[in-house]
Structure 1
Amino acid sequence: MTTQEREHISEHFTWYELTRSGAALEHALDNTPNDRQRQALRALAENVLEPLRRRFGPIVVSSGFRSPAVNRLVGGVPGSQHLRGEAADIVIGDVDRGLHICHHIRRHLDFDQLIFEPLGSPTPRWLHVSYTATRRNRREMV
């Protein structure tokens, strides 16, 4: 891990946590965000991830920023907010905890999109949450 990756993006989250990708490592793909994407990641961390951390304790991000090559490799949608640094998938552990997190986000935080994933699964494993600072957030729940 580089010194830059160890740097904190916010109080509790590092650049590494929001940019690491097993797929990128396995396939030797660059997954480095540019300045605009880094700004978006910082806004996501400050406005969504940190408030969740304060309320629920440690939050594990399974997927944050994705380069176009990484996004294609993992089957992400072409217009994914992960490409812009505006989205993170967080591990929920169990459905009840996921519902508590969802309700908290909906009631107390500004967000663009909130999705239990995998879609249609009786036991969702992660929560996709996005935040944008470039326009009004849609507060869309899927």
Structure 2
Amino acid sequence: MPFTHLNEKGEAIMVDVTEKAVTHRTAIASGRISMSAACYQAVKEGSAKKGDVLGVARVAGIMATKRTADLIPLCHVLALTKCAVDFTLEDESHSITARCTVQCEGKTGVEMEALTGVSTALLTVYDMCKAMDKRMVISDIHLCEKQGGKSGDFVF
């Protein structure tokens, strides 16, 4: 399958979606941040010096989905109809999994928006907690599933 973001000369282009049908599009992405036990406990208890870490990270992730086309050069600007960022705290591993769900009615998918949202949410956790733990590790950022569009559904 050829790269869709290259023309016949190998130059970067924005994909032409003019003739594509408007369909319901959904994408879900997730990722994880691991941290020290003390840092994890502060996030879990809401006692981090910078305040409600996960609340701020949720808002940051949502905001990022709406600005994806400003960050990723060849992305289309999309009118999102839904965005949710949720967190799962994992006590044994002192890690937090973020999950970003994005939807729209459009001609192109929302995978990049979901990936941008989850990445930004995790980066915000890092930013708010770096004074407690600079060894945090962000990992496993990936597309979990997508629905809609010409290429059909995908589940990781």
Tell me the TM-score normalised to structure 2 length: 0.31
More helix as a share of residues: 1
Flag the structure with more relative contact order, 1 or 2, with Cα contacts below 8 A and sequence separation at least 6.
2
More strand as a share of residues: 2
For the pair shown, the structure with the greater C-alpha radius of gyration is: 2
Tell me the TM-score normalised to structure 1 length: 0.34
